[in-house]
Amino acid sequence: MTDATTISKNIAAIRQRIWAAEKESGRQAGSVKLMAVSKTRSAAEIAAVLTEGVNDIGENYLQEALNKQQELAGEAICWHFIGPIQSNKTRQIAEQFDWVHSVDRLKIARRLSEQRPTDLAPLNICLQVNISNEESKSGFAVEAVLADASSIAALPNIRLRGLMAIPAATKDPAAQRASFAAVRTLLAQLKQQLPECPWDTLSMGMSGDMEAAIAEGATIVRIGSDIFGPRQ
Ligand SMILES: *Cc1c(COP(=O)(O)O)cnc(C)c1O
């Protein structure tokens, strides 16, 4: 358990880094949103994040997330699902989240749209792209995104907002930027192909590659360990 004082200091440092990266790349201050990724962390640790004014919370595992959502009921939180999705979990995801960043196949998008309660706003989704073409990683291949995006855009109860990527881990900033640049280029292609979608979201950048992602146009960064400390 990381105490609230440490979390507060860590968030201040992350905000400073975001601000510096925005400035460095000539982007407007405040154009990059901070999501706190709270997998394995407690509801009390999430509460400490909320106190700092961070209300975008990302979770990877459904059951773990549902438990914390119960504990934090009544708090103003925008819940993001960012983990792998099994098709038998889509109903609860469609019911309990505001955003899903990890949509990695057409079938999942269809189910989320079908199962999104119609008294809620459409579910915001990003398509996860396997930008480094790693066998081990989920996500659409680049060609598959271009092929399936129009079917997904036509679904009634979701809003296709953009792309999410987790590039192959590397400490080399140039290699990090090259991967994120490829995601940015793909988003530009999709904007041309389907101008009716908002395409306003590039969900990319984690603790170790946030600056490179911001330089390439990230609109939301997903930060876990640099807020809560290393995962045990
Ligand atoms: C765990 C996780 C993060 C946060 O990673 P850190 O390196 O701890 O900042 C971001 N995105 C996804 C999809 C994750 O699973």
How far apart CA 202 and CA 74 sit, in angstroms, is 29
Q: Could you identify the atom of ligand 1 that is nearest to the CA of residue 231?
A: 8
Whole-model pTM above 0.75? Answer: yes
Of all protein residues, the one whose alpha carbon is nearest to atom 11 of ligand 1 is 222
Of all protein residues, the one whose alpha carbon is nearest to atom 12 of ligand 1 is 82
Token look-up 């504990």 returns 71
Is 204's C-beta closer than 6 angstroms to any atom of ligand 1? Answer: no
Domain ranges of the chain: 4-228
pLDDT at residue 136, rounded to an integer:
81
223 CA from centroid of ligand 1 (Å): 6
204 CA from centroid of ligand 1 (Å): 10
pLDDT at residue 143, rounded to an integer:
94
Length of the chain: 232
**55-102 residue pLDDT tens:** 999 999 999 999 999 999 999 999 999 999 999 999 999 999 999 999
Contacts for 133 with CB less than 8 Å, ≥ 6 apart? 141
Q: Tell me the CATH number of domain 4-228, given options 3.30.43.10, 3.20.20.10, 3.30.70.1560, 3.40.50.150.
A: 3.20.20.10
Assign 3-state DSSP to the chain and report helix, strand, coil percentages, each to 5.
45, 20, 40
**98-122 residue pLDDT tens:** 999 999 999 999 999 999 999 999 9
Regions of the chain with pLDDT less than 50: none
The Cβ-side half-sphere exposure at 126, using a 13 Å CA radius, reads 30
pLDDT at residue 232, rounded to an integer:
66
pLDDT at residue 231, rounded to an integer:
80
pLDDT at residue 147, rounded to an integer:
96
